[in-house]
Structure 1
Amino acid sequence: MRPFSAPQLNPATETGWRRRWFDIIYRHDSRPSRNFDLILVVAIIASILVVMIDSVQHLHAEWSTGLYILEWAFTIIFTAEYLLRLAVVKRPLRYAVSIWGIIDLLSILPAYLSLFIPGAQSLLVVRALRILRVFRILKLTRYIEESGVLMTSLWRSRRKVLVFLFTVITITIIAGALMYVIEGPEHGFSNIPASMYWAVVTMATVGFGDIVPQTVLGRFVTSVLILIGYSIIAVPTGIYTAELASTMREAELAARRDARGCPHCGLEGHEPDARHCRRCGGELPDAFNH
C-alpha cells in the first residue's frame, strides 16, 4: 500500500447532502471536486504563510490581531472540513486512522493546544503535509512527445521530481518550526523563516556556521537533516536517469516497428516480435537485421 494512498471509503448514504458532499470530497473526477481540492490547497498554503509571518517579531507586533483572527479562521475552516469528512463516510474510524485522517487531525490540534501550551501554535506548519493533496488535482495525461529524448525524459519525470521537491520543502518547513521551538531566538533561531534558512543550508551540507544549535535535541535534528541532505542530489538524478533509459528503450522499439515493413504488401508498423504480416500473413524480415 502506498503511504499517501487514500483509504477505501464508502458514502454514509446513497442520497441526500451527505452523498453529494462525499462525491465532492472523495471523488476527484469532477469539476466541483477539483475546485474543492484547489480551494483547500490555497487555504493550506495561506494558513502556513500566516504562521510564518506571525513568527517574525516586528510583523507580529504590527499585525498580531489580524494574524490571530486569520489563524483561528483557518482553524475553524479545517476543523469543519475534518468533521465533514468524517460525517459523509460510512465508517468514520477508517478515515480517522488513515494517514490523511491523522494529518488532518494534526493540522488543527496545535491551534487548540496553543490555548494551554505556549509555542505549540508554531507547529501548525505541519499543515504543509496537506499540500500533498495538490497531486490529486493533477490528472495523469499522455506525455507530450518532444523532439529530443532528453526533453521527453525530463518532462516525463517531472511529477516524481515535483513530489520530491515538495517533500524537501515540507521537511524544511517542519524542521524550521521544530528548531524555532527547540532552540528559540536566544540561539539565533529568531523566527521560522530564519530557521528554514538554517535547514536549507544544513541539508545542502554547506554549513555557514552563522546559526548553530546549542541543545542536544537541536543537534540531533541537525544530524538527521545532514543525512537527508545527501539524498537531495542522488534522488532526482536517479529518477531522471531511469526515465531517460526508459525513453531510449521506447525510441528503439519504435524505430524497429517503423523499419519492419512487409515485403509482400508494404504494410509498416509491425511489433518487434511479430513474425508475419497482420494484413497479408506474409513472413516478415528479422528486425535485428535492420
Structure 2
Amino acid sequence: MLVEAAVPHILPENAFTTTVGEAAKAGVFAIWFFLIFRIGRTLRGLYGAQSAQYLELTPIWRILLDVTAAFVLAAFCFSVLYLYIGRLQGSAAFSADLNLGEALYFSIVTMTTTGYGDISPKSGLAKFLVSVQILFGFLYNVLFFSIFASFAGRRRPN
C-alpha cells in the first residue's frame, strides 16, 4: 500500500510489489513501536529518578535529535494511517483524495494544530484519528519542545 501510495500506477501489480507493500505495512508498525520506545526512554530520562544523571551524561543535541526524530516519525506514521483509511473508505473518509504527499502535509498541519481547512476528515474513524493526532501533537509539544528549554538550562557546564 505504501509503495502504491508513493508511486501510484507506475509499478505493475504483481507478487513482488504486493510483497513490498505488505513489508511496508509491517515497517510502519515497526516504526510505531520504535517511536513509542524512544518516547518512553526519553520520558524516563527527563522525568525519572535519575533525570539529573541523564541530563548530565546525554548531550543536548542527542535529546533534541530524539525529540525531533520522534515527531517526524509520528507525522509520517499518521499520514500512512490516513492513506490507509482513505483506501478503505474512499471519498467518505476525507474531503479530498489523499496521496502520500498530501497525507503527510495534512498530518503535519494537524499535529501542529495549524488546521488550514483545505483537507478535513469526514468519517467517524478519520475524525477519531485526527483527534488523537491533535492531542498527541499538543501533548508532545508541551512535554518536549516547551519543557526542553528548561532542561537545556540545567545541563552541566562545558
TM-score (norm 2): 0.60
Of 189-198 and 215-224, more deviation after overlay is shown by: 189-198
| 2:150 pairs with one of 241, 245, 250 | 241
Preserved contact between residue 183 and residue 189 of structure 1 (Cα < 8 Å): no
**Judging changes above 3 Å, is the alpha-carbon distance between structure 1 residues 166 and 125 closer, same or farther for their aligned structure 2 residues?**
farther
**Judging changes above 3 Å, is the alpha-carbon distance between structure 1 residues 199 and 244 closer, same or farther for their aligned structure 2 residues?**
same
Corresponding position of 2:51: none
Preserved contact between residue 111 and residue 133 of structure 2 (Cα < 8 Å): yes
Corresponding position of 1:128: 28
1:211 Cα offset (Å): 1.5
1:214 Cα offset (Å): 1.5
1:181 Cα offset (Å): 3.4
Corresponding position of 2:124: 216
Preserved contact between residue 180 and residue 189 of structure 1 (Cα < 8 Å): yes
More helix by share: 2
| 1:63 pairs with one of 8, 11, 14 | 11
Q: Does 1:207 align with 2:115?
A: yes
Preserved contact between residue 83 and residue 98 of structure 2 (Cα < 8 Å): no
Preserved contact between residue 182 and residue 217 of structure 1 (Cα < 8 Å): no
**Larger C-alpha radius of gyration, 1 or 2?**
1
What is the SS of the residue equivalent to 1:176? helix
Identity %: 19
**Cα distance in 1, alignment partners of residues 151 and 64 from structure 2:** 13
**Cα distance in 2, alignment partners of residues 188 and 228 from structure 1:** 23
Preserved contact between residue 126 and residue 174 of structure 1 (Cα < 8 Å): no
In the TM superposition, what whole-angstrom CA distance separates every residue of 1:30-56 from its partner, at most 9, and x where no partner exists? xxxxxxxxxxxxxxxxxxxxx434126
Preserved contact between residue 160 and residue 239 of structure 1 (Cα < 8 Å): no
1:71 Cα offset (Å): 4.1
1:129 Cα offset (Å): 3.8
Corresponding position of 2:54: none
The gaps in structure 2 that reach 5 residues or longer are 38-57
Letter in 2 for 1:165: F
Corresponding position of 1:116: none
Give the number of equivalent residue pairs: 133
What is the SS of the residue equivalent to 1:188? coil
**Cα distance in 2, alignment partners of residues 236 and 162 from structure 1:** 9
**Cα distance in 2, alignment partners of residues 203 and 126 from structure 1:** 23
**Judging changes above 3 Å, is the alpha-carbon distance between structure 1 residues 185 and 195 closer, same or farther for their aligned structure 2 residues?**
farther
1:223 Cα offset (Å): 1.5
**Cα distance in 2, alignment partners of residues 167 and 60 from structure 1:** 22
Corresponding position of 2:48: none
Letter in 1 for 2:108: V
In the TM superposition, what whole-angstrom CA distance separates every residue of 1:92-137 from its partner, at most 9, and x where no partner exists? xxxxxxxxxxxxxxxxxxx4xxxxxxxxx9xx5352242439x9xx
| 1:165 pairs with one of 66, 71, 81 | 71
| 1:189 pairs with one of 97, 102, 112 | 97
TM-score (norm 1): 0.37
The gaps in structure 1 that reach 5 residues or longer are 1-50, 76-110, 112-120, 136-151, 255-290
